[in-house]
């Protein structure tokens, strides 16, 4: 009960703060208009989306509010407040806006690596207008989505993703090749490249790492979407966020929308009466937007949806149809495990022992994920370091290399997080035989 009251109080405070900001904007626009700055008032009204929906109440004016504040400050502190002061340094001219200030007709301010989001006044070349100039609510939703656009590359290359060859091939066919060789993709079938790819498999096998490689290598605008990005407590906002996400992706194309743990958003509909109405509306909107990508494909739409899931059998069948490629990312085979062990232990094991230790790791880790092998190698590297913790000083000798015995000791400390990897792998393979599309 106490937490519910606190939640209601927070919502009331948020609503009051929003109304306070709106009142400040309305007062400022009215003051600009009364001062004869009609163009500035019109620009502020257009950007704020308030238009003529609100007006200043009777007996209220910005000058009166400032005067009342000055009188209160003088009464309480014995001196009048300093509201405006001269600029100390010579800055930009009054007509020039600083780099950190949002430009007119710009939806949000972005870093140099991130392209600005288009509006009616400045749509990017080859894209349409979002039309959010007069809609403050949609502009605010777009700003929240823009926080999930990766502005820095994760620095994961294709070569860093060991194995996963089918998944890498499908992603290159969908994203890389249509942009690099557009003349090869023509006709009624090839002109429509893959619009959606589902990567499914056990945890820790490299699905998210593959998405990072896409963000690094493909040179597209990368939207890293999770449930927190598109789920809102306000009625109707989740559907608007989904629509805004896809409109931004179209405006920023070529772009990639990565939805990690998509099963948290797109579980099967109609599985029970416990599903909330808002959840059903969100799923319906996501399916509609995915269909919209297919309809726009004939217009050379370069928006690609990459999804990852550990529970593919929980996904809605309609979403599976829209994810044209459904690829199993399974546990690494022996060759991949050997390569992983060599890569992880390269800096910690003598060159003469590296291959034999990597071979031992590969032979003992069947049914382990790539992340399990990484943790095993990390534990192996920590064992010789622990023996020197008590005697470490600034002048201490270097820690010895990892030995075969250290790796054997690490096997006693570390195990696969998923338990029985063989049984888990069989379940994914059975699902792949029925629903997979490589």
Neighbouring-strand partners of residue 303: 255
State the pLDDT at residue 103: 39
State the pLDDT at residue 179: 76
**Token duo for residue 187:** 């006709």
pLDDT tens string 5-18: 777 877 788 888 88
Answer whether residue 240 shows pLDDT above 80: yes
**Higher per-residue pLDDT: 391 or 209:** 209
State the pLDDT at residue 8: 80
State the pLDDT at residue 2: 64
Answer whether residue 204 shows pLDDT above 80: yes
Taking residues 261-270, what's their average pLDDT? 83
Burial class (CB in 10 A: 0-12, 13-18, 19+), 68: exposed
- Render the burial of 259-285: b for 16+ CB within 10 Å, e for the rest: bbebbebbbbeeeeeeeeebbeebbeb
Cα separation, 374 vs 420, in Å, equals 18
Taking residues 346-350, what's their average pLDDT? 89
Asked if 307 contacts 199 with a C-beta cutoff of 8 angstroms, the reply is: yes
Taking residues 245-251, what's their average pLDDT? 87
pLDDT class of 105 with cuts at 50, 70, 90: very low
Over pLDDT 90: what percentage of the chain? 8
Average model confidence (pLDDT) across the chain: 78
**Segment among 146-160, 303-317, 357-371, 387-401 with least mean pLDDT:** 387-401
Closest C-alpha among 142, 80, 137, 78 to residue 107: 142
HSE-up (13 A, CA, CB side) for residue 58: 0
Q: Name the helix (H) or strand (E) containing 257.
A: strand 255-259
C-alpha distances in Å from residue 201, one per residue of 263, 266, 330: 12, 17, 6
Secondary structure (H, E, C), 203-228: CCCCHHHHHHHHHHHCCCEEEEECHH
pLDDT tens string 147-203: 778 777 788 888 888 888 888 888 888 778 887 787 887 777 776 777 888 999 888
pLDDT tens string 294-325: 565 555 678 888 999 999 998 888 888 888 88
HSE-up (13 A, CA, CB side) for residue 177: 15
State the pLDDT at residue 34: 83
Answer whether residue 120 shows pLDDT above 50: no
pLDDT class of 342 with cuts at 50, 70, 90: very high
Taking residues 76-101, what's their average pLDDT? 61
Cα separation, 339 vs 165, in Å, equals 14
Answer whether residue 407 shows pLDDT above 60: yes
**Token duo for residue 281:** 């509306």
Cα separation, 302 vs 319, in Å, equals 20
> What structural domains does the chain harbor?
2-77 (no CATH), 158-329 (3.40.50.300), 334-430 (1.10.8.60)
Answer whether residue 255 shows pLDDT above 80: yes
State the pLDDT at residue 359: 92
State the pLDDT at residue 220: 81
State the pLDDT at residue 132: 62
pTM over 0.75: no
State the pLDDT at residue 344: 92
Answer whether residue 435 shows pLDDT above 50: yes
Place of tokens 């290399």: 401
pLDDT tens string 20-61: 888 888 888 888 888 888 888 888 887 777 766 778 887 788
CA pseudo-torsion sign 164, 165, 170, 175: positive
DSSP structural state of residue 256: E
Answer whether residue 224 shows pLDDT above 50: yes
C-alpha 127: how far from its chain's center? 22
How many other C-beta atoms can be found within 10 angstroms of the C-beta atom of residue 46? 16
Place of tokens 């006044």: 121
Find which of 67-81, 96-110, 119-133, 380-394 is predicted with most confidence, using mean pLDDT: 67-81
Our CA dihedral for 131, 135, 140, 146, rounded to 10 degrees, sits at: 0
Q: Name the helix (H) or strand (E) containing 196.
A: strand 196-200
pLDDT class of 373 with cuts at 50, 70, 90: very high
């Amino acid at each position: 009960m106490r937490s519910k009251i606190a939640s209601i109080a927070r919502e009331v405070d948020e609503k009051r703060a929003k109304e306070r900001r709106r009142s400040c904007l309305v007062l400022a626009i009215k003051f600009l208009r009364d001062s004869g700055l009609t163009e500035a008032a019109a620009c502020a009204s257009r950007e704020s989306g308030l238009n003529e929906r609100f007006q200043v109440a009777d007996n209220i004016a910005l000058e009166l509010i400032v005067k009342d504040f000055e009188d209160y400050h003088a009464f309480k502190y014995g001196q009048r407040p300093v509201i405006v002061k001269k600029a100390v340094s010579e800055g930009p001219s009054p007509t020039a806006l600083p780099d950190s200030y949002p430009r007119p007709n710009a939806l949000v301010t972005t870093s140099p690596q991130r392209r600005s989001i288009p509006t009616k006044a400045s749509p990017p070349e080859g894209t349409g207008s979002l039309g959010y100039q007069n809609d403050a609510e949609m502009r605010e939703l777009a700003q929240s989505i823009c926080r999930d656009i990766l502005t820095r590359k994760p620095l994961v290359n294709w070569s860093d993703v060991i194995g996963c060859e089918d998944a890498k091939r499908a992603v290159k066919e969908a994203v890389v090749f249509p942009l690099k060789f557009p003349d090869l993709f023509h006709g009624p079938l090839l002109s429509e490249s893959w619009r959606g790819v589902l990567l499914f498999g056990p945890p820790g096998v490299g699905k998210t790492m593959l998405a990072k490689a896409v963000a690094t290598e493909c040179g597209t605008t990368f939207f890293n979407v999770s449930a927190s990005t598109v789920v809102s407590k306000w009625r109707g906002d989740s559907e608007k966020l989904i629509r805004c996400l896809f409109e931004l992706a179209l405006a920023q194309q070529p772009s990639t929308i990565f939805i990690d743990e998509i099963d948290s958003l797109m579980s099967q509909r109609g599985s029970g009466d416990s599903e909330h109405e808002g959840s059903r509306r969100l799923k319906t909107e996501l399916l509609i937007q995915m269909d919209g990508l297919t309809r726009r494909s004939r217009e050379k739409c370069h928006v690609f949806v990459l999804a990852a899931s550990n529970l593919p059998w929980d996904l809605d069948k309609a979403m599976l149809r829209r994810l044209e490629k459904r690829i199993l990312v399974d546990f690494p085979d022996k060759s991949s495990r050997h390569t992983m062990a060599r890569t992880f232990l390269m800096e910690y094991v003598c060159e003469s022992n590296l291959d034999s230790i990597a071979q031992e790791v590969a032979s003992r880790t069947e049914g382990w994920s790539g992340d399990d092998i990484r943790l095993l190698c990390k534990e192996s590297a920590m064992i010789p370091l622990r023996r020197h913790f008590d005697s470490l000083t600034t002048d201490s000798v270097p820690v010895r290399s990892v030995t075969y015995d250290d790796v054997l000791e690490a096997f006693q400390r570390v195990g696969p997080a998923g338990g029985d990897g063989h049984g888990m792998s069989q379940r994914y393979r059975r699902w792949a035989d029925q629903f997979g599309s490589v």
